[in-house]
């Protein structure tokens, strides 16, 4: 039913302090790719703080959450990505399996499974991804294989976080054009400010194929700045993004911007609507890592059932609220959503 493709990462999560963020030049709330100056962050984190290892990777998180909401059938969600031949890769595979997700990994022997340092301070989290093997996803060696492409063709809804633009924009284009041809929804997430800033060409190529565009308030603001929207008003930004040219005119684009505890903004071409999130006491928040992914997972679980927009949003708010009460993007045994 649901197809996702992205970077399978093992999250290494800890509550850190401001000194640690400063040492590696991190903002309290951000998502970035690791570079030279982050080389020691993983080891340093393990040495200095009490760390937790959790299944991560943005799209894979959303697939796990969507599958959890869907329940039966098992393997309603399929996920493609690249891992290494190591213990982290095996852990990711096991977590996907436990979640009922049909994870079909490309396996490379030339790099270690990707990981992501999740540096939690209060309600904020700063993510530093070392893609490693995830960066080795090759369209011709995986997506194009007949048995894999058959799964793509079968799906009803497609979701790929913008993060994958740094790895295989061609794979994303192949899925996006198929979706348009078959009049099925292709959903994209802005994922992080650095993508609108540094992957503008890839984003521009994909946007005409995007039926549902997700993002949060920071990503929306950066996207608007990069595209010269000349406004900081999130409702106006959602309207302008909604109105960008579209390939498949049979399906009006939906733009969905979350804003943490503030209402979710949705533009559908006719109007902009605001949807309040579920209330939560600050002391009930464990960490916000994965909240956005969980929102998307909940939303998609209802989109595949062709539920009305209100129901998709309500499910997204429920899954996000569930995940922020827990460490990382993890879930209780069964959903309590009615
Ligand atoms: C390319 N980058 C930077 C990334 C990521 C990423 N997933 C894919 N690509 N950077 C962080 N993440 C994941 O985002 C989740 C929280 O939204 C982390 O692994 C984390 O599980």
Mean predicted lDDT score pLDDT of the chain = 96
The interface pTM score, or ipTM, of the predicted complex is 0.86
Is 90 exceeded by the pLDDT of residue 204? Answer: yes
Q: How far is CA 128 from the centre of its chain?
A: 15
Packing angle, helices 58-70 and 309-323, rounded to 10: 110
Contact assessment for residue 2 and residue 316, using Cβ atoms and an 8 Å cutoff:
no
Q: Which of 254, 162, 256 is nearest to 215 (CA)?
A: 256
Write the Ramachandran bin of 157: left for phi over 0, alpha for psi from -120 to 50, otherwise beta: beta
**pLDDT band (50, 70, 90) for residue 62:** very high
Is 90 exceeded by the pLDDT of residue 142? Answer: yes
pLDDT at 287: 83
**pLDDT band (50, 70, 90) for residue 227:** very high
Q: pLDDT digit string (tens) for 241-300?
A: 999 999 999 999 999 999 999 999 999 999 999 999 999 998 999 888 899 999 999 999
How far is 21 from 64, CA to CA, in rounded Å?
Answer: 29
219 Cα–ligand 1 center, Å: 14
Pocket test for ligand 1, best of 59, 82, 129 (most atoms within 8 A of CB): 129
Tell me the average pLDDT across 34-47: 93
Cis peptide before 73 (omega within 30 of 0): yes
Q: In 10 A of CB 46, how many CB atoms? A: 14
- 202 CB less than 6 Å from ligand 1? no
Active site residue 293: yes
- 303 CB less than 6 Å from ligand 1? no
Q: Which residues contact 46 (CB under 8 A, 6 or more apart)?
A: 12
């Amino acid at each position: 039913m649901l197809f996702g493709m992205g970077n399978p990462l093992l999250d290494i999560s800890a509550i850190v302090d401001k000194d640690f963020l400063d040492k590696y030049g991190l903002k309290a709330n951000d998502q970035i790719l690791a570079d030279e100056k982050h080389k020691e962050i993983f080891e340093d984190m393990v040495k200095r703080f009490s760390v937790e290892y959790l299944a991560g990777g943005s799209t894979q998180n959303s697939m796990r959450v969507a599958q959890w909401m869907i329940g039966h059938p098992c393997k309603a969600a399929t996920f493609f990505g690249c891992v290494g031949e190591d213990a982290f890769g095996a852990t990711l595979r096991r977590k996907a399996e436990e979640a009922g997700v049909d994870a079909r990994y490309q396996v490379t022997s030339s790099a270690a499974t990707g990981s992501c340092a999740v540096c939690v301070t209060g309600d904020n989290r700063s993510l530093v991804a070392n893609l490693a093997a995830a960066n080795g996803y090759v369209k011709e060696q995986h997506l194009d294989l007949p048995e894999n492409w058959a799964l793509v063709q079968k799906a009803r809804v497609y979701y790929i976080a913008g993060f994958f633009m740094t790895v295989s924009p061609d794979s994303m284009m192949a899925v996006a054009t198929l979706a348009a041809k078959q009049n099925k929804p292709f959903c994209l997430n802005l994922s992080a400010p650095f993508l609108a800033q540094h992957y503008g060409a890839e984003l521009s190529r994909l946007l005409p194929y995007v039926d549902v565009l997700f993002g949060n308030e920071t990503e929306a603001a950066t996207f608007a700045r990069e595209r010269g929207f000349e406004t900081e008003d999130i409702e106006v930004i959602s309207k302008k993004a909604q109105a960008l040219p579209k390939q498949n005119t049979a399906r009006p684009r939906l733009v969905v911007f979350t804003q943490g505890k503030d209402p979710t903004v949705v533009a559908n071409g006719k109007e902009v609507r605001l949807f309040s999130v579920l209330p939560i006491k600050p002391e009930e928040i464990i960490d916000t890592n994965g909240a956005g992914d969980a929102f998307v997972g909940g939303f998609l679980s209802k989109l595949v059932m062709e539920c009305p927009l209100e129901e998709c949003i309500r499910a997204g708010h429920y899954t996000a609220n569930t995940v922020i009460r827990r460490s990382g993007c993890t879930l209780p045994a069964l959903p309590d959503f009615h």
